[in-house]
Structure 1
Amino acid sequence: MVFLTTKMMQRTALFVTFGGLVTCLVTTFLPFWKTMNSDLNEVENWFSGLWHMCLYTEEVGIQCKAYDSLMGLPMDLQISRVLMLVSVGTGGLALLAAFPGLDGVEMCARQPDLKRRLLVLGGVLSWVSGLATLAPVSIVAYTTVVEFWDQGYPDAMPRWEYGEAMFSGWFGGLALVIGGTLFFVAVCMGNSDQRPPSVPNSLRVRNGAKNYLKTEVL
């Protein structure tokens, strides 16, 4: 376990957090949150995202159109928009806060306590970003399942299903949560490295015995 040092743990946490942030950013603007195709017309595939509705046909390709009105969207998409933007913002702040706290970075080099606090702040923000990503993806997944099994719709009517962006959102949210946890682990490892070594009990007993013998002789 020679390579498992505090510095390596900090770099790993930063890399995982950055990867999760990029994945969440791409997921936010992908129009593949939900997909639908009709059995009556198999050459048409519909895709729905937070910002666009797309139609794919073999003759034309993919065509996307932005939603006309925000207030006309379902409540789950409105909430998902806000939470995904919060996720991207807090994830970016997590990277900005944690970078000066890394060992080897000249910023705040003479303030080790401030570096540890910046790493803790980066971990907290990364957790918030991860949870803000997992929540909207799970909400949209739940509403999709409920509408898919709704008996009120005719059987011939096409239903929305999971798109690729749902899985990338889950992956990005988990990566952000794991990155925040690794920041906390790095802080704990740094605190243990800076702790002075404890004196063995046998050495304490010997020193006590020597002092006792000196007192007797005196």
Structure 2
Amino acid sequence: MASMAVQLLGFFLGLLGFAGTVVATLLPHWRCTAYLGSNIITATAYMKGLWMECIWHSTGIYQCEMYRSLLALPRDLQAARALMVLSCVTSVLASVASVMGMKCTRFARGSLIKSPLALSGAICFLCAGLLCLVTVSWTTNDVIMDFYDPFLPSGMKYEIGLAVYLGYASACLSLTGGLVLCWSSSGDRSQSRPRMQRNQPLSPPPAFNHIYPPAPLYKPPEALKDNHAPSLCSLSSNGYRLNNYV
């Protein structure tokens, strides 16, 4: 029962990480305008994401525009797109494998593939979390390097947006869920092996006929009286003994 609760905890943590990864991928708040100088009253704010670029006006109006060309985007943005999409797909596979491998489901109940399915789902959650973590870390490094670049104008400097922080939280949730599922799956394997060994029938002892030759049959002494080899003096060509004529 405790193992089932641990599996459910790991699955829901990974599911929350998957939901956060999808939201962070779609949000345009990856890079926000940096407010530099003494003038803090601004009429507009610029935000850049993986799929669109938005402008926020002080009147509360959003204007967003999708990126029209994929090849015209910078390489770091293309790589971030690919990694986040791959993280979402891996999370979907992890969710499906975990649902089939958990004890609370009826799929393959009592089968030996139950624990490997849960373990594969846990590994997929770990991979999804690592992909998301690499993407947000890369973006954070680019934003910080551009912010402290003295040759870059202040109007082109950005700060870390809300989607990046959400990506960090989602990556941590996915990694934690994957680790919990791995721990529960390894515990199930260690408990199932002794049970299988106890339930196995005892094998019969090996047959000694294949190792040692069978013992000769017992014969009484009367049967062995005339069983000795005849001597040379008692042999004849026609099967008669010489002592019959002496």
Superposition TM-score tier, normalisation by shorter sequence: 0.7 to 0.9
Q: Which amino acid aligns with 1:178?
A: T
Do the aligned partners of 2:34 and 2:159 also contact (CA within 8 Å) in 1? no
Runs of 4+ in 1 over 6 A off after TM superposition: none
Q: Which amino acid aligns with 2:3?
A: T
Shift of 1:188: 2.0
Question: Is 1:16 the equivalent of 2:13?
Answer: yes
TM-score normalised per structure 2: 0.74
Q: What's the C-alpha RMSD, in Å, of the aligned pairs?
A: 1.7
Q: Which whole-Å deviations, capped at 9, do the CAs of 1:61-100 have from their partners, x for residues lacking one?
A: 1110001211221221110000000000000000101111
Do the aligned partners of 1:37 and 1:44 also contact (CA within 8 Å) in 2? no
Match of 2:31 among 15, 21, 34: 34
Measured in 1, the distance between the counterparts of 2:35 and 2:117 equals 52
* Equivalence for 1:162: 160
Shift of 1:38: 5.3
Do the aligned partners of 1:34 and 1:160 also contact (CA within 8 Å) in 2? yes
* Equivalence for 2:152: 153
Do the aligned partners of 1:76 and 1:136 also contact (CA within 8 Å) in 2? no
* Equivalence for 2:179: 181
Q: Which amino acid aligns with 2:157?
A: R
Which 10-residue stretch deviates more, 68-77 or 50-59?
A: 68-77
Structure number with bigger Rg: 2
* Equivalence for 1:116: 115
Q: Which amino acid aligns with 2:171?
A: G
Q: How many positions carry a matched residue from both structures?
A: 192
Q: Which amino acid aligns with 2:162?
A: E
Do the aligned partners of 2:42 and 2:58 also contact (CA within 8 Å) in 1? no
Pairwise mapping of residues 33-182 of structure 1 onto structure 2 (< 5 A)? Answer: 33-37=30-34, 42-59=42-59, 61-111=61-111, 113-154=112-153, 156-182=154-180
Q: Which whole-Å deviations, capped at 9, do the CAs of 1:170-207 have from their partners, x for residues lacking one?
A: 1101111111111111112213433548xxxxxxxxxx
Give unpaired runs (5+ residues) of structure 2.
Answer: 196-246
Q: Which whole-Å deviations, capped at 9, do the CAs of 1:21-68 have from their partners, x for residues lacking one?
A: 000000000000010055577111101000010000023611100012
Do the aligned partners of 1:46 and 1:54 also contact (CA within 8 Å) in 2? yes
Q: Which amino acid aligns with 1:102?
A: M
Aligned to 2:113, what secondary structure does the other structure show?
helix
Aligned to 2:107, what secondary structure does the other structure show?
coil
Measured in 1, the distance between the counterparts of 2:130 and 2:43 equals 37
Q: For the structure 1 residues 60 and 177, does the alpha-carbon distance in structure 2 shift closer, same or farther, using more than 3 Å as the test?
A: closer
Q: Which amino acid aligns with 1:134?
A: L
Normalized per residue, the structure richer in helix is 1
Aligned to 1:54, what secondary structure does the other structure show?
strand
Q: Which amino acid aligns with 2:150?
A: Q
* Residue identity (%): 27
Which protein has greater RCO, CA pairs closer than 8 Å, 6+ apart?
1
Aligned to 2:175, what secondary structure does the other structure show?
helix
